[in-house]
Amino acid sequence: MPINVNDAQSILNPRDAGGEMLFRKAEEIGRELVDKKVSMSQIRKLFSEIKKIEYDAQKNYQYKLRLLKAQIGYTSGRFREFSYFKESFYNLIDKTLSGGEAELKRFKDFFEATIAYFRAFGGK
């Protein structure tokens, strides 16, 4: 099941120090991406862009998140199997945009954990 708005809020919540929801959902999405036959090459460019995003007080990072959202939409349009990923990450990006530095860090951690689980479950 894709990440809904409430899940996104829980995943990005910095008060959840153990990251229970973050890692549970990352595992779920990683497995689902493998099941839907998404390839690492479809994810690689997005992952590289996410790693470059840094928090700044002027909120320039928000521009980069919005650009990432557009890139995810483009990839989803090219590859149908990517639509599950799009549904989940659109909600996460929207919640990250309304947060601050801690939420951005957790968003990046979530994406990294999702990729790790994707690889662990045999994603190529």
Q: How far apart are CA 97 and CA 53, in angstroms?
A: 12
Burial of 44 (0-12, 13-18, 19+ CB in 10 A): exposed
Residue 75's pLDDT is what?
92
The share of the chain scoring above pLDDT 70, in percent, equals: 100
Residue-wise pLDDT tens digits, 57-81? 888 999 999 999 999 999 999 988 8
